[in-house]
Amino acid sequence: MRITLIGSGNVATHLGAAFKNAGHRIGQVYSRNAHNAALLAYHIGAEAIDDLNSIDPNTDIFIISVSDDAIAGIAQELSKHNKLIVHTSGATDLYNILAFTDNAGIFYPLQTFSKTKEIDFLTVPLCIEGANELITKTLKELAQSISNNVYEIDSTQRKTLHLAAVFACNFPNYLYRVAQELLADQRIDFNLLRPLILETAEKVQTNLPANVQTGPAIRNDQKTMFEHLQLLKYEPEWEQLYRLLSQGIIKKD
């Protein structure tokens, strides 16, 4: 398939590599930042452009991987080419493209990406949605060429999935940062926590989270929780967070 990537960030970078490895042709990479466009285009054998007026309409699909608030404007600009347009956002409704063309869809990879860390894209869940059955079929075939985990997820489901992903990924990472700063205050190496973090993540690969919950809250260990709160008394935001999470665990037990 002939593909045009709109964006040069983390998602576009990994998608571009996956498409190239699967034998697809990426004709162009667009980014407002010419350097970023050129860097990604070089690695995937595409042409770099930084002006939407330079778009080559000789493509099968435009894949928009930009910030959510920029999707609609870009979709409107690309709609004049009468080609399939999809975006990769987990939180943006399909209507943001449908407002300008019926040739619309979603191609959402459920993963956290960093440019410097390689990922086996075959394991990445790809959530697709098409404006009609033919588009859905096209996107499913494209998705199956780069991933072994393809799901048809509508916009309502995808928003809930994206919310769940924030709880499962972004919030825990913030909590890792809190833990890091707590340890740094006492000059303790964060590496001590890495095996614990890994074991916790590995448990939920084969068990439901509710079945492997540990810690003072699940035991309703009031003495330990009080001592923890005393340690947090000079960090009111972290203290409140500790209380909320602990109460949540207690209530769900």
Distance from C-alpha of 167 to C-alpha of 213, rounded to nearest angstrom: 16
Q: Are residues 29 and 131 in the same domain?
A: yes
Neighbours of 11 (CB within 10 A): 22
The predicted structure's pLDDT at residue 193: 97
| 3-state class (DSSP) for residue 30 | strand
Distance from C-alpha of 222 to C-alpha of 85, rounded to nearest angstrom: 55
Q: Are residues 191 and 219 in the same domain?
A: yes
Distance from C-alpha of 127 to C-alpha of 153, rounded to nearest angstrom: 6
Q: Are residues 146 and 213 in the same domain?
A: no
pTM (predicted TM-score): 0.90
- 61-64 and 125-130 beta bridge pairing: unpaired
Q: Are residues 22 and 108 in the same domain?
A: yes
The predicted structure's pLDDT at residue 116: 85
The predicted structure's pLDDT at residue 115: 85
Q: Closest by alpha carbon to 118, among 13, 22, 219, 188?
A: 13
Question: Would you write out the chain's pLDDT as a tens digit for each of its 253 residues?
Answer: 999 999 999 999 999 999 999 999 999 999 999 999 999 999 999 999 999 999 999 999 999 999 999 999 999 999 999 999 999 999 999 999 999 999 999 999 999 998 888 889 999 999 999 999 999 999 999 999 999 999 999 999 999 999 999 999 999 999 999 999 999 999 999 999 999 999 999 999 999 999 999 999 999 999 999 999 999 999 999 999 999 999 999 997 6
Last residue of a domain, one of 112, 134, 153: 153
The predicted structure's pLDDT at residue 200: 96
Q: Are residues 135 and 34 in the same domain?
A: yes
The predicted structure's pLDDT at residue 253: 64
| 3-state class (DSSP) for residue 78 | helix
We report the CATH number of the domain holding residue 87 as 3.40.50.720
Residue 214's region, left for phi above 0, alpha for psi from -120 to 50, else beta, is: beta
